[in-house]
A and B are shown apart, each in its own frame.
Chain A
Amino acid sequence: MTSKVCGVLLVALALNAQAELQALNDADLSAQSGQGGVYLSGEFSINKEGGVLWNTPASVTQTGWAANERSCHAPGSTATEACGMRLAVRSEAAGGWYVLDNLKGTFSFEGLTLRTRLINSGFGGDGALFNQDVIELGLPNEVKYKNGSFAFAVANQGGWRNNKAGAAAADTTYQQTNIFSAKLDGTIRMQGNVLIFPKN
């Protein structure tokens, strides 16, 4: 398996990207404007307005939540907050679950490009040796993050359950411990191209 991995060549995610970009021959690239590639602008979001499994309850008091309600507010907060996506993985047959919980956020960009490209020159002479087709993801200069968040946790069941006695459909045996949680807002600079190709 290890010898056959999909090779991902990240060409310049740092400031020295300019030098590498020159090697990709920008003039040729712009001359090929309107070829089969595509320029995408817009946004990608996860649970921008909450999810579809859990409605956001009116109050943070967990015992009052209905069977299809959950709030993912920060501890101590008195305002409810819509929940993000939840991913749980069990690594042992009868073990507990790793959980990536409350995963959400909006990522917007202008100018993510996608095309197929033959690299047979440039790269300081390596291109001619490489001589292969790649899928080129042209990174947008800026990606804006808005209201991004996630929490890393461990739990004894894959699905989240309300464990407060008295709540609707409660399962008091359910345990989840959040190890840490994070919030993301702002702008990330992503320049250059990601080239994806199979590697034998």
Chain B
Amino acid sequence: MRRSWLLLPFFLTPLAQAMQALDDEGLAEVNGQSGISIEHATSGWTAGSINYNSDGTTLSAKTLSLKPQAGTGTDSATLDVVGQQLQVEYSAAPRELNVSNLEFAGSTKSFGAFRAFFTLGASLRLKGLGASGVSGIALDGSRLSISDATFFYRDNGLDLIVKGVSFDTYLNNAYLDIVSGGTGSEVKLSLGSSRFVGAVGGISVDLAHSELSPVTPGSLDTRHPDASRSFGRVNMDLRLGGSLSIAGGGSTGQGLTIKPDVSFSNSLFQYQDEGVLRAENFAGTLRSTSGITVDLEQDGIGSYARLAFADLNLNATLGGLVMGNPTNQKLGSLALDLNFINDGSKQNWLKLRPGGDPSSGLKGLTADVSWNMANSSLSVTDNGNSMWFSGLKTNGTGQFTLDVTKGCSDGFATGCYAGSVSTNPASSNYDGHFNGIRLGMKNVQGSYSFDGLRVGSASSPLQGGTELLVLMEIFPAYDFIMNGQITLMPGGSSGDGLRYNADFMVTNGKAAITVDEAGKGLWLSGTTYEMHFRDGSLDVTNNGVELKKGTYWSKLDVSDVRWGNKDTGTSLGRLVLKRYEQGSTLALSSGGSGALCVGASGASSSACTANGGRWEDRGNEGVSVKLKAILAKDGSIEGTSNGVVTDEKRNQLIYETDRTLDGNGKPINGSGSQIVVDNVYTSDGNPVDPNANTYGVNADLSLDVAPTKVKIKSGPNAGTQVSPDPLGFAVNGRVHFKEINIDRLQNVHPTGGAVTAMYGIKLQNADVRANLTATPIN
């Protein structure tokens, strides 16, 4: 008996009780009366466990309670009938929900514990007969709200806290209906022209393990120095349409099928740190024809919840994008058309398992993921000119884990993990934890590619130009196996935002520098790429998005630089690039190049033309990217091999050719001839302070979609101008640095060892600009 009560959604409980007590005919007779007022005093309830069983697998919420936040609470509801409509005004006393563990029966692992503090309110307008005219309930004019909500998720004694949450849902022209579908019938919520207004005041973590008494939103545990930091605030105001259907039956047997066919229009989404990321006019659809199925299943590893969708389309236009200061220039708009679709063995599903990374205790979340996205695109519109990254496809499989973790270096040792292979966070093989929310990746084997750019319209000819993004390590195509982790900590370099520590290892990578639609190009094949980030941060400031890389070191080892096919093309040899940077940054801001002079100098159209140049105005929208790499000097040599320094933290480039082959025909690294560019570092070139190194190598890129002059390249009209000026992908790049030093250039023979060819190279005072517009070949 008690369980059947508890299975009802907590906020509907008192309403359902009230509705049972009234019948519609009786209500109709009291039309015009002042209605009924109900007050319900409650001290809440507790339950040992609540189980959900599907196809023999049981998901269990342990030690569950829902109680008023203060002793006894009083809920009130008034019911009235006005114009053949039942009107219910409901306000609840603030509640606290507790779940001590969410787990699968028979498993020692769990998803963790949950606590939520919230206040519910509802203003319902219910009317019989659905708008479909068959059955159901019209909900027009109803409102549901959650206010003053705080959500705690606890993983091995460490908390993730979502604060200041409020949601209001206004249901206009909405109705709830039972229609045929699924394994028989399904519940369909037609959203009409509903509105969803939501806010999240902050997301933080509490890493001080084992508080003496349970914390509440009003008295949080503030012992850990990072307790007050937050990832930032989110606001949204969504205008919703379409429908959402829920049917019984999963992909097999019992379970659930959810079919979204939701549209949103004229909506607003905003993330706020010091500056904002805002889409002022956000519209689109989220649709799955076959539905998202939810099943509980078991395999050799244990029980899991499986979410799967054979098709899912997300189409969104983020109009009026603002990055940084809302009064600044805008970015233009961004549109996504993402099509997830099953294709043979390439499928879309998630298997959610209890327990996170094996090094992170018994609680947390593990997800085995498989995805396949085909024929998708991303487009950017800048001053009314659009460009499509066309034919975007990606697929892969892998395991992701999510945990709240803690390192052992900040004095709060309980619940920390120092590592087993290495306990030094500054080393490459450190396997301990960092503070924060840890996303682990294990054998994530995937690939992505896009066919190319289309400029002007979605049916324009495909063209290259994505090569110009390689500087930002955005490759036109990439196959990879990835392992590693990224741990995010609330609070940026100042105020809100995030800080991060990460280690990634990409193996069997094949990255294209340039590639055509047939997959032919210049490929970095057989790549291993090891990357380590320490004390990085990401902030949205009034100047845009700023990523500080902190201390960064990496080793990119390309077994073969291939021409043509990524596997069989002729190889140029092996490339190894080691990087060691301290204080490097990447900043994104809105506004592209603006107006500029191509081919000469001049600050105005007339001055530019007078100097023999061409004046191009690329409008006030677009994106600007600033990369600043501060290459650190390796001050001492820790190890050498065959005369070449092997330190992991050093800027070094090795080019090797003529390697001998092993029994499998695979080249043996180190067996060939090498050229080594050793110990590259930047300097401010300041004679007064020779060790100053703050300027770095800077690459400033402005990206626009803009018209340019194009001549016909070949054929009978070769040499004549294309008219009107075609649109292109315009990249205005500037590389500047004060001083780059290279300690030595070595030639290395596999047996003879290293010989120094140059005892120093120094580059000073550089300001190199490339102002290029990419258009299709005519």
Chain A residues proximal to chain B, CB less than 8 Å: 1, 3-4, 6, 21, 26-27, 29-30, 32-54, 67-68, 83-93, 95, 97, 106, 108, 110-111, 113-116, 118, 132-135, 138, 141, 144, 146, 158-161, 169, 171, 197-198, 200
**Pair B710/A85 contact, Cβ less than 8 Å:** no
Interface check B765, CB cutoff 8 A: yes
Which chain A residue lies CB-closest to B737?
A52
A92 to B297 alpha-carbon distance, docked (Å)? 71
Chain B residues proximal to chain A, CB less than 8 Å: 451-452, 460-465, 467, 514-518, 520-522, 561, 563-565, 569-573, 598-601, 611-613, 657-658, 673, 675, 685-688, 695, 708-711, 713-715, 719, 728, 730, 736-739, 741, 747, 756-778
Which chain A residue lies CB-closest to B464?
A38
19 further A-B contacts with Cβ under 8 Å, apart from A35-B461, A50-B767, A115-B464, are A1-B673, A34-B460, A38-B775, A39-B776, A39-B778, A43-B599, A43-B769, A45-B768, A52-B767, A87-B763, A115-B516, A133-B520, A133-B569, A135-B514, A135-B522, A138-B713, A146-B611, A197-B563, A198-B573
Which chain B residue lies CB-closest to A34?
B461
B681 to chain A, nearest CB (A): 13
**Pair A40/B514 contact, Cβ less than 8 Å:** no
**Pair B714/A39 contact, Cβ less than 8 Å:** no
**Pair A39/B738 contact, Cβ less than 8 Å:** no
**Pair B570/A198 contact, Cβ less than 8 Å:** yes
Given contacts A110-B710, A146-B599, is CB(A116)–CB(B658) below 8 Å? Answer: no
How many contacting A-B pairs (Cβ < 8 A)? 255
Given contacts A41-B709, A135-B514, A159-B685, is CB(A36)–CB(B599) below 8 Å? Answer: no
**Pair B777/A32 contact, Cβ less than 8 Å:** yes
Interface centre among B517, B688, B719, B767 (most CB of A within 10 A): B767
A97 to B760 alpha-carbon distance, docked (Å)? 9
A161 to B573 alpha-carbon distance, docked (Å)? 40
A87 to B742 alpha-carbon distance, docked (Å)? 11
Q: Name the contact of A89 in the complex, choosing from B569, B711, B760 (C-beta under 8 A).
A: B760
**Pair A133/B563 contact, Cβ less than 8 Å:** yes
21 pairs, A vs B, C-beta closer than 8 Å? A1-B675, A26-B715, A33-B778, A36-B517, A39-B710, A40-B772, A41-B708, A41-B773, A47-B766, A51-B767, A52-B767, A54-B765, A86-B762, A89-B758, A91-B759, A113-B777, A115-B516, A116-B564, A133-B520, A171-B687, A198-B571
B271 to chain A, nearest CB (A): 34
B contact residues around A92 at 8 Å (CB): 759
A141 to B517 alpha-carbon distance, docked (Å)? 27
A contact residues around B695 at 8 Å (CB): 52
**Pair B774/A38 contact, Cβ less than 8 Å:** yes
Given contacts A42-B771, A51-B766, A198-B570, is CB(A33)–CB(B564) below 8 Å? Answer: no
A95 to chain B, nearest CB (A): 7
**Pair B465/A38 contact, Cβ less than 8 Å:** yes
B contact residues around A27 at 8 Å (CB): 715
**Pair A42/B600 contact, Cβ less than 8 Å:** no
**Pair B759/A90 contact, Cβ less than 8 Å:** yes
**Pair A110/B711 contact, Cβ less than 8 Å:** yes
**Pair B570/A133 contact, Cβ less than 8 Å:** yes
B558 to chain A, nearest CB (A): 13
A110 to chain B, nearest CB (A): 5
**Pair B769/A37 contact, Cβ less than 8 Å:** no
**Pair A49/B601 contact, Cβ less than 8 Å:** yes
A contact residues around B765 at 8 Å (CB): 47, 51-54, 83-86
A184 to chain B, nearest CB (A): 14
Q: Which 10 A-B pairs have the closest CB atoms?
A: A34-B461, A36-B516, A133-B564, A38-B464, A51-B765, A108-B599, A158-B762, A53-B765, A90-B760, A4-B657
Q: Name the contact of A33 in the complex, choosing from B563, B673, B686, B776 (C-beta under 8 A).
A: B776
Which chain A residue lies CB-closest to B657?
A4
**Pair A40/B761 contact, Cβ less than 8 Å:** no
A contact residues around B563 at 8 Å (CB): 116, 132-135, 197-198
**Pair B758/A46 contact, Cβ less than 8 Å:** no
Given contacts A38-B777, A135-B563, is CB(A30)–CB(B520) below 8 Å? Answer: no
**Pair B658/A3 contact, Cβ less than 8 Å:** yes
Which chain B residue lies CB-closest to A146?
B600
Given contacts A88-B761, A115-B516, is CB(A46)–CB(B767) below 8 Å? Answer: yes
Which chain A residue lies CB-closest to B770?
A44
A contact residues around B657 at 8 Å (CB): 1, 4
A159 to B690 alpha-carbon distance, docked (Å)? 11
**Pair A111/B565 contact, Cβ less than 8 Å:** no
Q: Name the contact of B774 in the complex, choosing from A40, A158, A159 (C-beta under 8 A).
A: A40
A21 to chain B, nearest CB (A): 8
**Pair A37/B464 contact, Cβ less than 8 Å:** yes
Given contacts A27-B715, A41-B710, A116-B520, is CB(A52)–CB(B736) below 8 Å? Answer: yes
Given contacts A91-B758, A116-B520, is CB(A144)–CB(B612) below 8 Å? Answer: yes
**Pair B777/A46 contact, Cβ less than 8 Å:** no
B contact residues around A171 at 8 Å (CB): 687
B contact residues around A160 at 8 Å (CB): 764
Given contacts A106-B600, A138-B713, is CB(A41)–CB(B772) below 8 Å? Answer: yes
A193 to chain B, nearest CB (A): 11
B522 to chain A, nearest CB (A): 6
A87 to B611 alpha-carbon distance, docked (Å)? 28
Given contacts A36-B516, A40-B773, is CB(A53)–CB(B764) below 8 Å? Answer: yes
**Pair A159/B762 contact, Cβ less than 8 Å:** yes
Which chain B residue lies CB-closest to A199?
B570
A112 to B411 alpha-carbon distance, docked (Å)? 60
B contact residues around A39 at 8 Å (CB): 463, 710, 713, 774-778
A contact residues around B461 at 8 Å (CB): 33-35
A contact residues around B709 at 8 Å (CB): 41, 110
A contact residues around B613 at 8 Å (CB): 108
A54 to B765 alpha-carbon distance, docked (Å)? 7
A contact residues around B452 at 8 Å (CB): 36
A163 to chain B, nearest CB (A): 11
**Pair B710/A146 contact, Cβ less than 8 Å:** no
**Pair B521/A116 contact, Cβ less than 8 Å:** yes
Q: Name the contact of B463 in the complex, choosing from A38, A91, A106, A141 (C-beta under 8 A).
A: A38
A contact residues around B747 at 8 Å (CB): 1
Which chain B residue lies CB-closest to A27?
B715
A40 to chain B, nearest CB (A): 5
A131 to B86 alpha-carbon distance, docked (Å)? 80
Q: Name the contact of B688 in the complex, choosing from A67, A88, A106 (C-beta under 8 A).
A: A67
Q: Name the contact of B768 in the complex, choosing from A85, A86, A169 (C-beta under 8 A).
A: A85
A contact residues around B710 at 8 Å (CB): 39, 41, 110-111
Given contacts A39-B774, A43-B771, is CB(A114)–CB(B564) below 8 Å? Answer: no
**Pair A118/B756 contact, Cβ less than 8 Å:** no
Q: Name the contact of A48 in the complex, choosing from B521, B601, B761 (C-beta under 8 A).
A: B601
**Pair B761/A45 contact, Cβ less than 8 Å:** no
A146 to B614 alpha-carbon distance, docked (Å)? 13
**Pair B598/A44 contact, Cβ less than 8 Å:** no
B717 to chain A, nearest CB (A): 10
Q: Name the contact of B714 in the complex, choosing from A30, A89, A115 (C-beta under 8 A).
A: A30
A171 to B687 alpha-carbon distance, docked (Å)? 9
**Pair B766/A52 contact, Cβ less than 8 Å:** yes
B contact residues around A26 at 8 Å (CB): 714-715
Given contacts A26-B714, A36-B464, A108-B598, is CB(A43)–CB(B760) below 8 Å? Answer: no
A contact residues around B561 at 8 Å (CB): 198
A contact residues around B767 at 8 Å (CB): 46-52, 85
B contact residues around A90 at 8 Å (CB): 758-761
**Pair A141/B758 contact, Cβ less than 8 Å:** no
B321 to chain A, nearest CB (A): 26
**Pair B515/A46 contact, Cβ less than 8 Å:** no
**Pair B658/A6 contact, Cβ less than 8 Å:** no
A contact residues around B758 at 8 Å (CB): 89-91
A contact residues around B599 at 8 Å (CB): 43, 106, 108, 144, 146
A119 to B467 alpha-carbon distance, docked (Å)? 22
A144 to B611 alpha-carbon distance, docked (Å)? 12
